[in-house]
Amino acid sequence: MKFAWIENERIRDVAPNTPEDIYHPEVAVFYDTQVPDDAQNGDGWVNGQLVKPTPLPPMQNPPRTWKNADIRAGLTLSERVKWDNDTTPEIVTAKLEMSQPQELSNTTEVLNLLVSTGSISQTSVNKILA
């Protein structure tokens, strides 16, 4: 068993040895609670019981998004000419839809519209979504 300094139901510090042997008496008095050997600084101490913190879930990356520049970057030269000159109403609409970053489902819907009207190729779609 070790001795710990407990504050607000949390282990502030665990003494590596007998507190009186390593700390000034004015500090050693705070190490007044016996805790199990596996207790660590930051663990909870509730009603005389050690409470290990719940591990945080792994960080998740935000979903990928696409915008107009991402679409244009994946187009062939002839497709970029159409894109830059608003050749079809579908391109105008696509640019409006993609003016704000969009996730995969919305981006795919816009790209499928452009393929169905012959504004871009499926090869370009694959390149954009890669």
What angle do helix axes 122-129 and 104-116 make, rounded to 10 degrees?
160
Provide the pLDDT for residue 1: 86
Distances (CA, A) of 98 to 19, 91, 116, 121: 64, 10, 17, 18
Instruction: Tell me the CA end-to-end span of the chain in Å, nearest whole number.
Output: 56
Provide the pLDDT for residue 17: 85
The answer to whether 14 and 7 are in contact (CB under 8 A) is: no
- Residue position matching structure tokens 């190490």: 31
Is 90 exceeded by the pLDDT of residue 30?
yes
Provide the pLDDT for residue 35: 96
Condensed to tens digits (0 to 9), the pLDDT of residues 74-93 reads 999 999 999 999 999 999 99
Condensed to tens digits (0 to 9), the pLDDT of residues 32-83 reads 999 999 999 999 999 999 999 998 889 899 999 999 999 999 999 999 999 9
Please return the burial class of 116, using the count of CB atoms within 10 Å of its CB with bins 0-12, 13-18 and 19+.
exposed
